[in-house]
Amino acid sequence: MILGFKPRADPVAVFIEIMQVPKRKPGKYTNEIPDPHLTEEKFFELKNKLEKLKKDLPDAIREVRRLAEMGDFSENAAYQMAKGRLRSMNDSIVEITENLKHAVIIKADKTSETLQIGNTITVEVDGKQRVYLMLGSTQADPSKGIISHNSPLGSVLLGHKVGDSVILKRTDKDVVCKIISID
C-alpha cells in the first residue's frame, strides 16, 4: 500500500489522489477563449471522443495503480509513462468537456443574402475564382478550402453580399476580393 493512499471504489477519486497536476507558467495564449463555433458533425465527433476517453479512463487508472505498487517512482519508467498517458487523457477530457459546454452549432442560413458562418462562398481574387467554406477556427483548413470567420480573409468577407468587393490588407499590398456567389 502506498503511504497516504486510501483505496476507493471511485476511479476518479483514485485518479485525483494519485495524479499531481503540474503547475505551468502561463503562456501567450493562456487567456484566449477557444472559438465555440462547430459543425454538428464536429460536435458529435468530439462527444464520441469524450465518451471513449471516459470509458478508457478506469483502465488507465488501474494501470497507474498497478505500476505504482512496484515501488521506486523515480526509476519506474513504465509508471512515469502510464502517469503521463493518464494525465493526457484527463487534460483531453477537461478540454473537450469545456469545448462541448460552450459549443455553438453552425447552421448555415441559406435564405440570408449576406455571408454567414457555415456558408460556401466563391470569391474572385486577382482574376482567379476560389471556393471557400466558412467555419469556426477549430475546423479551419485553408488547404482544403475551409476558412475561419476569424481569419483575415474570413473576417473581411463576413456580412457582405454577392457583388461586393472587399479589400484584404496584406503587409506587402492590398488585395481586392469580389464575392461571386454565396451558397
> Which of 60, 76, 105 represents a domain boundary (last residue)?
105
Number of domains making up the chain: 2
Whether 112 is covered by a domain: the verdict is: no
Q: Is the dihedral of CA 57, 58, 63, 66 positive or negative?
A: positive
Whether 27 is covered by a domain: the verdict is: no
CATH number of the domain at 40, please: 1.10.287.180
Integer Cα distance of 84 and 92 in angstroms: 12
pLDDT at residue 155 greater than cutoff 60: yes
Is 97 found in the same domain as 150?
A: no
Whether 21 is covered by a domain: the verdict is: no
Strands 165-169, 146-148: pairing is unpaired
- Region 40-63: mean pLDDT is 95
| pLDDT tens profile 128-137 | 999 999 999 8
| pLDDT tens profile 55-86 | 999 999 999 898 888 777 677 788 889 999 99
pLDDT at residue 44 greater than cutoff 90: yes
Is 129 found in the same domain as 97?
A: no
Is 98 found in the same domain as 124?
A: no
Whether 26 is covered by a domain: the verdict is: no
Is 128 found in the same domain as 100?
A: no
Is 101 found in the same domain as 40?
A: yes
Integer Cα distance of 103 and 107 in angstroms: 12
Task: For residue 95, give its domain range.
Answer: 11-16+35-105
Place of cell 503511504: 3
Whether 45 is covered by a domain: the verdict is: yes
Strands 37-38, 165-169: pairing is unpaired
Is 100 found in the same domain as 40?
A: yes
Is 46 found in the same domain as 91?
A: yes
Integer Cα distance of 156 and 132 in angstroms: 14
Strands 128-135, 120-125: pairing is antiparallel
| pLDDT tens profile 81-102 | 999 999 999 999 999 999 999 9
102, 35 contact by CB (below 8 A): no
Whether 138 is covered by a domain: the verdict is: yes
CB within 8 A of 97, min separation 6: which ones?
50
Q: What is the pTM for the complete model shown?
A: 0.72
pLDDT at residue 174 greater than cutoff 90: no
